[in-house]
Chains A and B, each alone.
Chain A
Amino acid sequence: EPEVTQTPSHQVTQMGQEVILRCVPISNHLYFYWYRQILGQKVEFLVSFYNNEISEKSEIFDDQFSVERPDGSNFTLKIRSTKLEDSAMYFCASGQDSHTNEQFFGPGTRLTVL
């Protein structure tokens, strides 16, 4: 069964460093998302991406964040200068359409900023 994969599973970084979180969505999906879950809190939407551009972003997704689909298979989230409060589990998701079909989630990357 096709699945969304994410690497790395755990990333530890120093405050102020740049990190890139990687995702490989399901191959025939067209819509891509990033969410995050701070420990013990709800899952929050960050950004959605369709047709090689951002279709929606939350207020969390400020200028420190960017997304890219560099080669038609990977979907990356970059945080330019990490802060302590960026520590969270980051989930990538993909879907065939943006309405009724489900979003398929990856296993997540746990980001720890020291």
Chain B
Amino acid sequence: GNSVTQMEGPVTLSEEAFLTINCTYTATGYPSLFWYVQYPGEGLQLLLKATKADDKGSNKGFEATYRKETTSFHLEKGSVQVSDSAVYFCALRGNQGGKLIFGQGTELSVKP
């Protein structure tokens, strides 16, 4: 079945450091891919998405490229801020639509 694997956290970075959070997936066909962010005490918010191969999703300085050849959707940001501290979830939605399948989440902590 479909699944998502993320790099384990927690990830601790200094402000202005470069961020990569790895995400790989297993799916049949052509899933849509998402990154959601969960700030402390809040629900899940969509950060960015990509719906077909080679699409790049971007938002708030974050970006991720849908790579079908490596079945990956790694999240990157060139310069993180303290306010980026949160848990980041990679997710996919399969060909048939409907439910989201989430990775285990990666906690990011950015220190001043």
List the interface of chain A (C-beta within 8 A of B): 4, 31, 33, 35, 41-45, 48, 55-56, 58, 91, 93, 97-100, 102-108
Contact = CB atoms under 8 A, between A and B. Distances in A.
A9 B91 CA distance: 24
Contacts, number: 55
Q: Chain B interface: which size bin? A: 20 to 34
Interface stretch (B17-25, B72-80, B99-107): B99-107
Contacts of A104: 46
A105 B102 CA distance: 14
Contacts of A97: 97
A4 B108 CA distance: 25
B27 interface: no
A17 B86 CA distance: 34
B interface majority secondary structure: strand
B93 A48 contact: no
B43 A108 contact: yes
Contacts of A33: 99-100
B12 to A, nearest CB: 18
Contacts of B104: 41-42
A48 B97 CA distance: 11
A53 to B, nearest CB: 13
B43 A105 contact: yes
Contacts of B71: none
Nearest to A57: B99
Contact of A99 (B91, B97, B103): B97
Given A43-B89, A99-B32, A100-B51, A105 B98 contact: no
B43 A45 contact: no
B69 interface: no
Given A43-B89, A99-B32, A102-B34, A56 B98 contact: yes
B92 to A, nearest CB: 12
Contact of B102 (A43, A99, A100, A106): A43
